[in-house]
A = this chain, B = another copy of it.
Amino acid sequence: MTDTEAPLQKPALRGAGIREVARQAGVSIATVSRVFNDAEAVSSDTRERVVALASSLGYEPSPLGRNLVRGRSYLIGLIVPNVSFPLYGAMIHGIEDVLGSHGMSVLLASSHDAAATEVRAAQNILRHAVDGGIVINSMVGLALPTQRQSGWVHVTPEPPGLPCRVELDNEEGGRLAAMELLRNRHRHFAYVGAKGRESADRERGFAEVLRDAGFDYRRFEGDYSEASGMQAGAALLDGPLDAVFAAGDLMAAGVMRALHMRGVQVPGQVAVVGFDDAAIASLLYPRLTSIRQPGYLMGAAAAQLSLNFIRGRPTEPVIFSPELVARESTGPPSA
């Protein structure tokens, strides 16, 4: 863009009146500054005289200057892969609510699932002297740029061992999915997973419960997209199938579409369970049974960890339990 070269118009300086306030009050500029930054070192007489004069002269202290004096920016950086992903929206909501109640604001940057963009986002955030930072599903983990003042709280399944993190018990999510499908007396199971630790953990829990009940399952590796779910649905119909657990709601939507297109009834002939409980889960037809990640609470916990970090308090990892949300896509097989 050519206008990157145009100089930004310098806004009217807010502090322009500070000299005049100091002169008329007969005090130094530093004293006026102290009055507006709650320093106790100013006598109450002086304070009252300065405040009255400032008010009559229309002097407004600069917020940036105030933050500088306090050594704080009241900003928490937040790096999100993509604000549009519904689970992240819920997390952002929780983060904003907790930070807002402590007078802090969110400096947002999206990484768009690219490591280089994530690193640039972190550098950019650090330029604003944030008091702390939160990163959702980091691609670079401990290699994220940092500063003495600010630590990163990770909302993430990996890498393990991050000191300051919020995560979901994914194995438990897999167990919940298997129990829902066993409850409905299915016998021919399939797992639609993806690369990475989250899917591996979900599968481990799923496999454990099925094994204990004496069942095996077939597996298909997708990539969390609806298209890969459609491929999975088509491929799995080559064998006996009456119950599918997909590691993400989009893949579950794809599985259901593949079944619809072949005239297979859900849940009458094949039951489907998704994961995340994103907004789309309840909009699909039939409405999708899913394993809910408590996004709002996970965001709120991340914000609280960030505040604890700033205050020098303990920042133990917080592990959340998922929850089964049973809807129309699971049920007993039709006779």
Contact = CB atoms under 8 A, between A and B. Distances in A.
A84 B90 contact: yes
Interface string A1-12: 101101111111
Contact of A284 (B6, B101, B105, B283): B283
Contact of A283 (B72, B74, B88, B250): B250
A159 B283 CA distance: 31
Nearest to A150: B11
A13 B124 contact: no
Given A4-B101, A283-B280, A285-B284, A71 B108 contact: no
A315 interface: no
A309 to B, nearest CB: 9
B72 A68 contact: no
Given A73-B64, A106-B109, A310-B8, A101 B257 contact: no
A12 B150 CA distance: 11
Interface in A244-264: 250, 253, 256-257, 260
A279 B105 contact: no
Contacts of A7: 311
Contacts of A82: 89, 93
Contacts of A9: 310-312
Interface string A98-123: 00111001111110100000000000
Interface residues of A, number: 69
Given A68-B65, A83-B93, A148 B283 contact: no
Interface string A168-198: 0000000000000000000000000000000
A144 interface: no
A78 B110 CA distance: 14
Given A11-B148, A310-B8, A311-B9, A96 B84 contact: no
A149 B74 CA distance: 20
Contacts of A126: 63
B72 A11 contact: yes
A226 interface: yes
Interface stretch (A19-27, A43-51, A127-135, A205-213): A127-135
Nearest to A110: B96
Given A84-B93, A96-B108, A127-B63, A311 B8 contact: yes
Interface of A: 1, 3-4, 6-14, 62-65, 67-68, 71-75, 78, 82-86, 88-90, 92-93, 96, 100-102, 105-110, 112, 124-129, 131, 148-149, 226, 250, 253, 256-257, 260, 279-280, 283-285, 307, 310-312
15 contacts: A4-B101, A8-B72, A8-B310, A9-B312, A10-B72, A12-B148, A12-B149, A13-B71, A63-B128, A65-B68, A96-B108, A106-B108, A260-B285, A280-B280, A283-B284
